[in-house]
């Protein structure tokens, strides 16, 4: 088996469902990838992810490069063996983290140097060593190093990021090509479209990257502070220009409604820390909207967090118990809340896949908002 | 079914194995009870406890009384339903916590008043309301309020604690008797022997409490700073005087070797935060001794934490991964370490039960020390 993408259903509006094939399993799209930054989806064990229906997880190259280091992960037999996760893994390039987390960053066309937030050591990422690091980590889908401009930024800055991103994409491919067979499985490289919220730059970025013929394309540089109108607008504008036969991944997005809107505009893959990070703080997404577990209204609520949810947390525990765990500072609270939030996101994707196959997405989208807007506090 | 205790095997030296029956399940003895202070064994879900072989857990009356309050737990349908734990629960009386945690404590023969460490409110525990609180919590085995003298203390202080503990034991029984059927299951009261490290006071305490005919007896006031010699000596001295047909519970003990020594002296039940608290700090007990997960020696150790352990953690993860989780501050670290430590304690009890049945305890005890002493750091 090797990497592939098959479209199963699509409609003229651009919404689509499909299936990605990898050597470690299939990923039904639209897909949400839980974020396992440091080779663990915070608070969860792999069996929890499988129980929640996860088919792929994302790990962060930047974090793993700094700690424990890609050599250690390679020695362990790759990230799947290291963390005991049996399915496919996507790694980002680390570029976004360098721009958002690292100190003393210096960027040039050659690469980006920065100071590690873990131990203060000086590090250097280039398009080439980012491929090498990801090969050591052992992900199935690797991302090229890109230049993500801050938001807002000048036209010149956005243009510079696009030009550099294309240059780096070419160098990433020059390393070993877009499909690399190693250790008995295939790893593929995805390109990343930049261009801020500027349509002409997005168009240029797409044109240059599509010419390089990547196995898949990500849309980067969004969800960085722009308006929802720009997020949805640029995501849709960009998705429409991407080749129909390749998967499209909108990086770092987002709220449940953002996933619905992006799927409506033809996006196939998502990742976001939103469900896991919020869950750890006691805020969870449910079919009735957002719930803040510490709210006094949950104190004597012996019903489930979300009556429509089939997750372990909703089947076994009450809101009153979850609130107690958060009030008492118990680690089981973040864990049970994360189980629910991840299941909620994955179930949302399952629902969307089904209604797209059945040609009922437009109606479903209306129903979703009607129910979701009833926030249950 | 109602509460009962059956001896299965014993030898003249005092070591014994048996079985406690409750309306929510049996408990094979010697038994270790994982501590679920705030209605959760920290980091673990009930299925983890079942997977580790737990047959009973302990919860702390003091903590649950302060937060979320026993009324809420009663409304939830009792602690088993509240926390989704299907098996028997033992609650302590809160006395020990009042003496070790609370501020502005005032003790008289009537009861003990203190200031809540949670919200500063003034609280009052009496032998009677401690029974009522535990009935609301819904445990299967309840402890009487006792007076645990600090260590070291004068003869007069130790004597006062013994006299008051007997007085309070009588009042506890006077409330509803030693066996209370409510909500369709039986709850029983255990007496607690005090007397510090003084044999004549231990003897007096045993004599007075045995006359009250409790369904089971705990040995309190140990593991509070005394020497190992005193701990083992007084535990053994006290156990010998207790009725052979009732379960004997040594409260708050201890290290793996303490369990072995106490079993050798005729103890049937244990609880301790040792395995769970240490695991959260990255120190775990194994068949080869104590392991400090953050030690550099574990960095490239891709073998299991304990090659003799059948827990989920040892079957699925390496020491290198566990170390990474602790170095990176990931919550999965404490969780996986706790799974192992609880399983190690419970497996130790399983082994002891088996060798006692087979009449091989003495030899096993020697083998245990030989292996355990090889600390694998």
Whole-number pLDDT of residue B376 = 42
pTM attached to this predicted model: 0.97
CA–CA distance, B301 with B292 (Å, rounded to integer): 13
Determine the distance in angstroms separating the CA of B228 from the nearest CA of chain A, rounded to an integer.
32
Measured in angstroms, the CA of A85 and the nearest CA of chain B are apart by 10
With residue B94 as reference, give the H or E element that holds it.
Answer: none
Alpha carbon of A41: minimum distance to chain B alpha carbons (Å): 9
Chain B residues touching A76 at Cβ < 8 A: 302, 318, 320-321
- Catalytic pick from A48, A92, A136, A258? A92
Pairing between strand A185-193 and A216-219?
A: parallel
Residue spans of the domains in chain A: they are 4-272, 279-372
Predicted local distance difference test score (pLDDT) of residue B377: 38
pLDDT along chain B (377 residues), means of 10: 92 92 98 98 98 98 97 98 98 90 87 92 96 98 96 97 98 98 97 98 98 98 96 98 98 97 98 98 95 98 98 98 98 98 98 97 95 61
- Residue B96: how many other CB atoms lie within 10 Å: 22
How far apart, in whole angstroms, are the C-alpha atoms of residue A82 and residue A75?
9
Q: Does domain B4-272 have CATH number 3.20.20.105?
A: yes
Contact across the interface for A330 and B76, Cβ inside 8 Å: no
The pLDDT score that the predictor gives to residue A203 is: 98
Please provide the size of chain A in residues. 377
Q: With an 8 Å Cβ cutoff, is A293 touching chain B?
A: no
A312 is catalytic: no
The Cα–Cα gap between A243 and A213 comes to 9
How far apart CA B368 and CA B374 sit, in angstroms, is 10
Low-confidence residues of chain A: pLDDT under 70: 1, 374-377
Burial class (CB in 10 A: 0-12, 13-18, 19+), B329: exposed
Predicted pLDDT of residue A327: 98
| Per-residue pLDDT, A1 | 64
Interface of A with B in 59-88 (CB under 8 A): 63, 67-68, 72, 75-77, 82-84
A344's CB contacts (< 8 A; 6+ apart) are: A256, A275, A284, A285, A286, A287, A306, A309, A311
Catalytic residue among B48, B258, B271, B306: B271
At residue B374, the pLDDT reads 57
- Point out the catalytic residue in the list B48, B92, B136, B258: B92
Q: Which of B273, B321, B326, B337 to mutate to test the interface with A (most CBs of A within 10 A)?
A: B321
pLDDT at A376: 42
> Cβ contact (<8 Å) for B324 and A39?
yes
Helix (H) or strand (E) holding A57: strand A57-59
pLDDT tens for residues B89-106?
Answer: 999 999 889 888 777 889
Distance between CA atoms of residues B265 and B254, nearest Å: 14
- Note if B92 is an active site residue: yes
Closest listed residue to residue B287, CA positions, set B204, B364, B231, B217: B364
Work out the end-to-end distance of chain A between its first and last CA atoms, rounded to an integer number of angstroms: 47
The 3-state DSSP composition of chain A as helix, strand, coil percent (nearest 5) reads 40, 20, 35
């Amino acid at each position: 088996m090797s990497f592939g993408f098959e479209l199963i259903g699509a409609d003229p509006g651009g919404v689509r469902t499909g299936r990605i094939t990898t050597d470690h399993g299939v990923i039904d799209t639209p897909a949400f990838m839980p974020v396992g930054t440091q080779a663990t989806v915070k608070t969860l064990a792999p069996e929890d992810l499988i129980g929640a229906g996860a088919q792929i997880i994302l790990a962060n190259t930047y974090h793993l490069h700094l700690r424990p280091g890609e050599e250690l992960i390679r020695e362990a037999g790759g990230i799947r063996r290291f963390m005991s996760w049996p399915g496919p893994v996507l790694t980002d390039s680390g570029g976004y983290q360098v721009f958002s987390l690292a100190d003393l960053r210096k960027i040039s066309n050659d690469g980006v140097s920065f100071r590690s937030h873990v131990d203060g050591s000086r590090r250097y990422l280039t398009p080439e060593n980012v491929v090498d690091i990801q090969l050591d980590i052992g992900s199935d889908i690797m991302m090229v190093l890109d230049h993500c401009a801050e938001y807002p930024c000048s036209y010149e800055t956005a243009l510079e990021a696009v030009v550099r991103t294309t240059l780096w994409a070419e160098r990433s491919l020059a390393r070993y090509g877009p499909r690399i067979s190693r250790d008995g499985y295939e790893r593929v490289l995805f390109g990343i479209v930049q261009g801020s919220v500027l349509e002409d730059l997005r168009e240029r970025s797409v044109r240059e990257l599509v010419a390089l013929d990547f196995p898949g394309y990500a849309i980067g540089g969004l969800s960085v502070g722009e308006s929802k109108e720009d997020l949805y607008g640029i995501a849709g504008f960009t998705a429409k220009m991407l080749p129909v036969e390749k998967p499209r991944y909108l990086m770092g997005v987002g709220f449940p409604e953002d996933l619905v809107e992006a799927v409506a505009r033809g996006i196939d893959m998502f990742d976001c820390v939103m469900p896991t990070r919020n869950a750890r703080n006691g805020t969870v997404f449910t079919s009735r909207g957002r719930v803040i577990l510490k709210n006094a209204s949950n104190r004597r609520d012996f019903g489930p967090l979300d009556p429509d949810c089939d997750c372990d947390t909703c089947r076994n525990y009450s809101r009153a118990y979850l609130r107690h765990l958060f009030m008492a500072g118990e680690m089981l609270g973040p864990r049970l809340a994360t189980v629910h939030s991840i299941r909620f996101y994955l179930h949302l994707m399952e629902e969307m896949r089904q209604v797209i196959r059945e040609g009922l997405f437009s109606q479903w989208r209306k129903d979703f908002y009607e129910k979701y807007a009833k926030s249950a506090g």
